[in-house]
Amino acid sequence: MCQFKLQTCNKYLLLIKKMLVACLLISPTLFASELASIEPSAGLVYQTQSGIKHSAPLLRSRVEMHVNGLINRVTVTQIFENDSDNWINATYLFPLPENAALDHLSMKIGERLIIGEIKEKQVAKKQFAQAKVSGKKASLIEQKRNDIFRTEVANIAPGEKVAIEIEYQQSIQYKPGIFSLHYPMTITPRYAPPMPRLSRAERYNYLSNLLTEKHSEQQHLFWNDRWDWWLQNNENQQLAEQTSVVIKDKSDPDLLVELKIYLHSPLEIESINSPYHNIKTEKLGASLQLISLQDETVIANRDFVLNWQVLQSEQAKSALFVQNIGAEKYGLLMMMPPATQFTEAARINKEVIFVIDVSGSMSGTSIEQAKSALSFALDQLAENDTFNIISFSDNSEFFATNSLPVDNRSKAMAKVFINQLQASGGTNMQVALKDSLRGKRTVYADKETGLRQVVFITDASISNEQQLLTQIAKLLGKSRLFMVGIGSAPNHYFMKSSAKMGKGSYTSIGDVNEVNRKMSALFEQLSAPVLRDIQLNWADGSPVDYWPQPITDLYQGEPLQVVFKIPDGKKALQIAGIKFAQNRAKPWSQDFSLQQQQNAQGIDVLWAKEQIDSFDLNRELSNLEKQQKITALGLKFHIVTKHTSLLAVEQKVSRPRVIDSVNKQVKTHLPQGNTMRLPQTGLGSELYKQLGLLLLVLVALLWIFESCFYKLKSDLEGVCR
């Protein structure tokens, strides 16, 4: 009997001990789960900080693309839905491909349809502001950057839906055998370098110098330039601010996109794929396919890319398209370089300067991609090449003072240098460009046959594009600039334009898995220049009005695409340039007859767009001349440019005077993989102290408890005896 009691007592003791130990083990995890439950409510505090809580207007985009040959016509419908109780003026900053020509706007409110008109930017802005104040529904499309546009919609009533439909045209990219189109969905927040503030005296000085007409033309230009520079800086700051309006937590509604592509191709398509999204294809006819997303909608946090391959045998060497519009004729010429297969013998010795961006915006997966791209590129260098590496953030750092010849030792040293790179700080690209292009540190380069190639690896999260492009044009000299875009949403416009300016090419790497494939393609190309100093003439020797101008160098596997205006009576076109073969350069030319033409649509818009881009990059024109020329072209071809905007205004007044409307900007998603954030500043030392104390107290309690119990038990035993 007594033994039985003792046994039960022992059992209880064991049970209690087990429970206590279990509690001890569980307590930290309990603690942690409690922590997790605190955080979301802390997020809500942030939401209501601004005072009154306005919910952002919900936006849904529907994209429909019609691809026809080399031209892609896209309709984007942005449906703004106001689910708040206020009248709302919505603003939405959105990206478009950098070669997009936006030429149509319509606004649909229920059954009413208002077609937008092209206006000069300032005029459109003023009329929109008037409509906004007077309570009319209106929408305005402005170009903020070549690849960033802004939709503004005024006076959306509570519970109302307004559909803004815009159309743009884009040319399809073509690399040997592969066509690809690219639809950007998100904007990397832009970084604006700190701007020196104008003091009051300086501002007066600027203005008085601008307004007085007494001094010479040259002086006037100087002050104009200073003033423009200041305005430009100011605008950069604003854009940087606007791009940082992003979705931060789960309580913000997701931005959703619906996508449909009608792919019309006269050539037989071998395969279609999208590297970042799941797609499904459906055959609608002999040469028509419908491509849509696997899920109905996707979250707009990563660029959409579609590649399709045509059967190799049907690949044309060159193709000429012609469009007749009224009395005017436009032509589009596409040509594959007239080169043979790449051979080792044809390799040209080169000096390669790698420039890698290690600024804070590259942190996360971007820097890893950049590093692996760089180490892969190192391995691609040939024996007779020389190389150097420059890393930059706020300042630039050289791997070696002079370019080094490629051998095992220098490669190993370079790898060590690459491994220790870490992303932090600002994006001071000016310094990097200066250091890489100035090229004073070269000793090994062979001036005659050698090539100096600068490979620039960056996400280009900068907003002072114009200043940088001007700098490239100034410093380029004999170097060629190759841009490698890293991350899910690099600044495509800047990358493309600087590659164009630097007479090189642009490669975009969106995923780590693509590094090897794309970098080896780039290096194969780098080693094999085919044509340089290309020019176009009519067969009778008269000059051609063609764009882009100048035409960039042609490398192995790169097509040449030129748009031109055809005057009456011209029958044949001649292309001339300098061709590389066997490490030697020779003059070369080829004739094209306009008789074997194919008809096409949209070349006029393409022509206008190319012309606008070329004006924009032309350093010989003053800003005023540029503005006049671009405005004229924009108005003639109905295209949204830097200086022209599309505006749609409803004549009816819909918002009652007594009610005010609230301005809201649609929050956009951060590009996937972007980990740029404010520094982490909580060590949690308090937590450690508390947890430690808790454990100690528990141990003490257990100890006391246990000894009491032991005493109790031995008492019991004594009783039993």
Residue ranges binding another protein (CB under 8 A): 3, 14, 17, 21, 24, 31, 35, 38-39, 42-43, 45-46, 49, 189, 192-197, 237, 240-241, 244, 246, 248-249, 360, 393-394, 425-426, 670, 676-696, 698-699, 702-703, 706, 710, 721
Contact 172, 72 (CB under 8 A): yes
In the complex, least distance from residue 252 CB atom to another protein, rounded to whole angstroms: 11
Q: Which is nearer to another protein, 35 or 572 (CB)?
A: 35
* Listed residue (150, 115, 110, 157) closest to 650, CA to CA: 115
Residues in the chain: 721
Q: Which is nearer to another protein, 13 or 290 (CB)?
A: 13
Q: Which is nearer to another protein, 550 or 692 (CB)?
A: 692
In the complex, least distance from residue 49 CB atom to another protein, rounded to whole angstroms: 6
Q: Which is nearer to another protein, 424 or 623 (CB)?
A: 424
Q: DSSP readout, 435-499?
A: HHHH-TT-SS--TTT-EEEEEEEE---BS-HHHHHHHHHHH-TT-EEEEEEESSS--HHHHHHHH
In the complex, least distance from residue 427 CB atom to another protein, rounded to whole angstroms: 9
Q: Which is nearer to another protein, 653 or 697 (CB)?
A: 697
Q: Which is nearer to another protein, 396 or 611 (CB)?
A: 396
Neighbouring C-beta atoms of residue 218, cutoff 10 Å: 7
* Listed residue (336, 338, 333, 319) closest to 588, CA to CA: 338
Contact 450, 349 (CB under 8 A): yes
Give the contacts of 105 (CB within 8 A, at least 6 positions apart).
Answer: 115, 116, 139, 141, 164, 165, 166, 167, 646, 647, 648
Q: Which is nearer to another protein, 423 or 457 (CB)?
A: 423
Give the contacts of 551 (CB within 8 A, at least 6 positions apart).
Answer: 534, 535, 536, 560, 562
In the complex, least distance from residue 362 CB atom to another protein, rounded to whole angstroms: 13
In the complex, least distance from residue 426 CB atom to another protein, rounded to whole angstroms: 4
Distance CA 578, CA 534 (A): 7
Q: Which is nearer to another protein, 271 or 690 (CB)?
A: 690
Q: Which is nearer to another protein, 327 or 678 (CB)?
A: 678
Q: Which is nearer to another protein, 331 or 426 (CB)?
A: 426
In the complex, least distance from residue 307 CB atom to another protein, rounded to whole angstroms: 32
Secondary structure (H, E, C), 51-120: CCCCCCCEEEEEEEEEEECCEEEEEEEEEEECCCCCEEEEEEEEECCCCCEEEEEEEEECCEEEECEEEE
CA dihedral (634, 640, 641, 643) in degrees, to 10, reads 80
Query: Beta strands of 337-385 (E only): which ranges?
Result: 350-357
Distance CA 713, CA 2 (A): 12
Angle at 44 (CA atoms; ends 40, 47), nearest 5 degrees: 140
